[in-house]
């Protein structure tokens, strides 16, 4: 029997009340043809309804036009479990209006959970999430008032605390994506920018009695594919759908960039240096913390600038990694985040998170959205705005050196940089340093117990956790400590006895002359 079906036939396989898991990472590897067909069926017929949606990473572009936003119809979904939410505002709205039950749990842990479900083990048992909002002693990852089921429980093993992320007993439908499939359903991912969780996702669905449907660019004859290129074997794929080019872009950035998937290597010496602005200043100060041959993870936003500064300064030997599974090369930004130009290797996302969780990274540079008096960080929730924790908790709880990067204030901030100084022209309206954060995405208490080095770098001040105390250690040249720093905080931090002035080279419009250890 042929495994090839149409998108419409695929949508008919989804039944009322099914749990459905979907692949994708921002704009990569998402079977958009299948998502649209499912939406179209619901809008025309009202079926299927009351689905339980499960995704490690959301897929969207920050509007309601792409990806999983097309599932945000009242009645279609009953519950959502997801790791990253920032780019699916339509789904966020369902959550904040109590139209669906919802949980936000770490991407890495959800990716690993697929393997545990496939093997019918008792879930993921890990320290990841302790003392953060996913800890059941806090919110347990629950996102609204109607969410009542506990998906995470606290355990003790050999006198140490762990969290157990409970497995789903059944996943009825899996939507995955690849590049080519043969007539038996063997799936390759030649032109995909990452592999993500395609294999464990298919295994989890099949081993719990579900149906796996793969969207591909094209279907080829049996015997055509090199068996070593097959990422999901046909025994785990029930049906194959050929996608249209419009719904099979490599990322939401471009239909296809061969340098993302290893078909070519692109020269990197033509990368344009960043202009001298707050982002570059922060990235420069952060780059001064780089150590030779470090294995790194860079978060979305301002931290991405660290790679640009390293390239501009000729700092070599660094190994950038992206939680989607890419190692080496230059990570892409924006809606291309997760991909990398000229990666040296690409592995399954759960495998890379194993490496992260075990302390494999040397340093991590991540965003700074809100910080409290204890040094806790919130990047996951701001009232009705749900960004989600993403891979933030996996990365920050396991890496020996963690550097948070962001501007000191937000909304309306205008500054001038040059000649070795900083001038604040217009102060931001929103303070980022608050007595308490809305959610704890990074726990300073856990970091102290773990012995991590933690820094908080802004364009005008640098803070560190010193013996668990949030401490101001540097200020920028040209600013007033009281007016520009302390008065812009909701609390008074400890101030180091040896308070320093930030290196004036950071504020000059020319290369700094950095080495990997400045």
Q: How many CA atoms lie within 13 A of 159 on its CB side?
A: 0
Instruction: Centre a 10 Å sphere on the Cβ of residue 479 and count the other Cβ atoms it contains.
Output: 21
For 150, 208, 454, 466, the CA distances from 23, given in Å and listed in that order, are 24, 17, 33, 41
Please check whether residue 396 is in contact with residue 442, taking contact to mean a CB–CB distance below 8 angstroms. Answer: yes
Closest Cα partner for 210 from 237, 181, 183, 177? 237
Would you call 334 exposed, middle or buried from its count of C-beta atoms within 10 A (0-12, 13-18, 19+)? middle
For 34, 197, 273, 518, the CA distances from 24, given in Å and listed in that order, are 12, 9, 31, 39
Residue 323 bears catalytic tag: yes
Q: Which of helix, strand or coil describes residue 391?
A: coil
Rounded CA-CA distance 210/429 in Å is 51
Q: Which contiguous run of DSSP H or E holds residue 351?
A: helix 349-357
Of 39, 203, 323, 363, the catalytic one is 323
DSSP letters of 218-236? EEE-TT-S-GGGEEE-GGG
Please check whether residue 21 is in contact with residue 175, taking contact to mean a CB–CB distance below 8 angstroms. Answer: yes
- The pairing of strands 345-346 and 326-327 is antiparallel
Q: Which of helix, strand or coil describes residue 115?
A: helix
Rounded CA-CA distance 291/251 in Å is 32
Rounded CA-CA distance 266/507 in Å is 31
User: Cα-atom radius of gyration of the chain, to the nearest Å?
Assistant: 23
Please check whether residue 166 is in contact with residue 319, taking contact to mean a CB–CB distance below 8 angstroms. Answer: no
Q: Which contiguous run of DSSP H or E holds residue 450?
A: helix 444-450
Rounded CA-CA distance 506/276 in Å is 9
**Catalytic site positions:** 323
């Amino acid at each position: 029997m042929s495994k090839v079906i149409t998108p419409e036939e695929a949508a008919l396989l989804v039944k009322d009340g099914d749990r459905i898991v979907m692949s994708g990472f921002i704009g990569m590897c998402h079977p958009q043809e299948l998502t649209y067909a499912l939406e179209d069926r619901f809008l025309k017929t009202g079926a299927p309804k009351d689905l339980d949606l499960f995704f490690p990473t959301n897929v969207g572009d920050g509007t309601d036009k792409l990806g999983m936003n097309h599932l945000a119809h009242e009645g279609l979904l009953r519950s959502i479990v997801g790791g990253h939410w920032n780019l699916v505002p339509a789904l966020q709205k369902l959550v904040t209006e109590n139209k669906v039950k919802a949980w936000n749990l770490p991407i890495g842990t959800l990716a690993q959970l697929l393997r545990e479900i496939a093997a019918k083990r008792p879930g993921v048992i890990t320290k990841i999430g302790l003392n953060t909002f996913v800890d059941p002693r806090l919110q347990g990852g629950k996102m609204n008032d109607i969410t009542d089921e506990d998906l995470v429980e606290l355990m003790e093993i050999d006198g140490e605390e762990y969290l157990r992320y409970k497995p789903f007993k059944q996943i009825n439908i899996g939507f995955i994506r690849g590049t080519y499939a043969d007539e038996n359903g063997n799936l390759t991912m030649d032109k995909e920018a990452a592999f993500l969780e395609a294999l464990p996702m298919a295994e989890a669905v099949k081993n719990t009695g579900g149906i796996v449907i793969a969207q591909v660019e094209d279907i080829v004859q049996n015997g055509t594919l090199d068996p070593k290129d097959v990422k999901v074997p046909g025994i785990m794929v029930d049906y194959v759908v050929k996608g249209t080019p419009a719904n099979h872009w490599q990322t939401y950035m471009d239909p296809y960039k061969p340098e993302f998937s290893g078909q070519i290597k692109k020269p990197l010496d033509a990368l344009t240096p960043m202009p001298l602005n707050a982002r570059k200043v922060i990235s420069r100060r952060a780059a001064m913390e780089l150590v030779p041959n470090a294995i790194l993870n860079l978060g979305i936003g301002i931290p991405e600038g660290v790679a640009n500064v390293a390239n501009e300064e000729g700092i070599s030997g660094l190994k950038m990694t992206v939680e989607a599974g890419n190692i080496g090369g230059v990570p892409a930004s924006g809606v291309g985040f997760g991909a990398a130009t000229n990666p040296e290797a690409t592995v399954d996302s759960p495998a890379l998170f194993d490496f992260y969780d075990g302390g494999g990274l040397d340093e991590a540079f991540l965003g700074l959205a809100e910080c409290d008096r204890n040094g806790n960080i919130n990047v996951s929730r701001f009232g009705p705005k749900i960004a989600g924790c993403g891979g933030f908790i996996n990365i920050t709880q396991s890496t020996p050196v963690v550097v948070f990067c962001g501007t000191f204030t937000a909304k309306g901030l205008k500054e001038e940089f040059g000649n070795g100084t900083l001038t604040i022209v217009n102060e931001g309206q929103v303070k980022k340093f608050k007595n308490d954060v809305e959610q704890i995405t990074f726990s300073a208490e856990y970091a102290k117990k773990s012995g991590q080095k933690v820094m908080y770098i802004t364009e005008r001040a640098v803070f560190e956790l010193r013996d668990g105390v949030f401490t101001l250690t540097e200020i920028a040249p040209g600013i007033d400590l009281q007016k520009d720093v302390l008065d812009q905080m909701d609390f008074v931090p400890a101030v180091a006895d040896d308070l320093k002035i930030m290196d004036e080279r950071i504020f000059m419009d020319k290369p700094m002359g950095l080495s990997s250890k400045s």
